[in-house]
Structure 1
Amino acid sequence: MDTTPLPPDDLSRSLVLAQADGDLPHIGLVGDTYTLLLTGKDTAGSFCLIDMHIPPGGGPPPHRHDFEETFTLLEGEMVATFRGKKTTVHAGETIHIPANAPHQFHNASDKPVRLLCLCAPAGQEEFFLEVGVRVPTRTTPPPPLSKEEQAAFGKKAQELAPKYRTEFLKEA
């Protein structure tokens, strides 16, 4: 048991109140909308917290990264693929993805899904800011992309992925 005394309160840090429907960054990405509730700047790099709105058919491609990721479904249901095994996750349930494990989530239903995503340590939000597009609200979809724009987006995401310790895969 560690008996080292607790450090003093860091008075340079403040309480953060985040309102998902408030004036926060709403990022349109792969047809989904991600609202950055807490960033690494808010948590001294410990984690980020993202409110995700996933329309029917939405969700990211198969991928993996070197940070822990936890999802809590608030509304709807989604299919999570973890190391090739599919699991249906319902509102009120939480799943945890260990660092480096191949995974994907997908909204296979006909209703939007809302979930909270916690990434530890922080950093994933920076990737989303760099590759996504700002949208006005938590549920505003990103603008549709032409085939050329989709190709350019895919290329940009692939090029930036190593910077954010992420790898896109053929299958989760």
Structure 2
Amino acid sequence: MIPPKKPEWAADPENNLGQVLVLGPQEGKNFYQPVPANGNISVRIAPEFVDIQSPFSIGTQTLPPGGYVREHSHPEHDEALHFIRGTGKAVVDGVEYTIEPGVTIFVGRNRRHMFINNSDAELHWLWFIQPNGLEVFFEEVGRPVIPGEPDPTPFPRPDNVLEIERRTAFAPQPTDQRRPE
């Protein structure tokens, strides 16, 4: 994991200017994810990196073939996802949508959603969530990507995953949680 560089330009409150941060492809905070997603996450912008007036986080996620993001919702968060590579399906409040490059999905607070890679290639997307918190979840359930080290997936979710979800960006898991078909 290569931590983000300190911003080259500090905030300039006198002129109402915020910070600037430019990350290279291998920078950010990068984590492998446990089952059932597997794959990896790259956190690109988060409040711990720069001073953000309205806290949010943004990053990318890659799901291998057969991986899925379990059905969940965010009680106080709005999320936008833009799909870059691969195909699959999204299920939002029980309605299925085809995912392919160029598809963008907005999921407002308390909307149940899941993402499934039912193809033979990786599914890759950009995610944005406001307020932030998702990046903390990814770090706490994941394992750091260390260049040159092998991919540890699949590995189990931590025993305290429900507690991690509760204090980061997730509503309690639904009792009738959908599973991929």
Higher relative contact order (CA 8 A, sep 6+): 1
Please point out which of 114, 118, 139 is paired with 2:124. Answer: 114
CA distances 1:110-152 after superposition (whole Å, capped 9, x unpaired): 1001100000111110111122110136xx744333xxxx2xx
Instruction: Decide whether aligned partners of structure 1 residues 121 and 128 sit closer, same or farther in structure 2, where only a CA change above 3 A counts.
Output: same
CA distances 1:29-77 after superposition (whole Å, capped 9, x unpaired): 1312000011123334521111111111112211111201111011112
Q: Tell me the distance in 2 between the aligned counterparts of 1:168 and 1:9.
A: 45
Please point out which of 46, 60, 63 is paired with 1:54. Answer: 63
Q: Which residue of 2 aligns with 1:63?
A: 72
CA distances 1:90-122 after superposition (whole Å, capped 9, x unpaired): 101100111111110111111001100000111
Q: Which residue of 1 aligns with 2:30?
A: 26
Q: Tell me the distance in 1 between the aligned counterparts of 2:31 and 2:112.
A: 23
1:131–1:156 CA contact under 8 A, matched in 2:
no
Q: Tell me the distance in 2 between the aligned counterparts of 1:123 and 1:155.
A: 19
Count of residues in correspondence between the two structures: 156
SS in 2 for 1:62: strand
> Does residue 82 of the first structure (1) align with residue 86 of the second (2)?
no
> Does residue 162 of the first structure (1) align with residue 172 of the second (2)?
no
- Structure 1 residues without counterparts, runs of 5 or longer: 1-6
Q: 1:168, CA displacement in angstroms?
A: 2.7
Q: Tell me the distance in 2 between the aligned counterparts of 1:82 and 1:119.
A: 16
Instruction: Decide whether aligned partners of structure 1 residues 9 and 133 sit closer, same or farther in structure 2, where only a CA change above 3 A counts.
Output: farther
SS in 2 for 1:60: strand
Q: Tell me the distance in 2 between the aligned counterparts of 1:141 and 1:59.
A: 17
> Does residue 92 of the first structure (1) align with residue 102 of the second (2)?
yes
**Identity over the aligned pairs, expressed in percent?**
23
- The structure where helix makes up a greater share of residues is 1
- The structure where strand makes up a greater share of residues is 1
TM-score normalized by the length of structure 2: 0.77
> Does residue 39 of the first structure (1) align with residue 46 of the second (2)?
yes
CA RMSD of aligned residues (A): 2.1
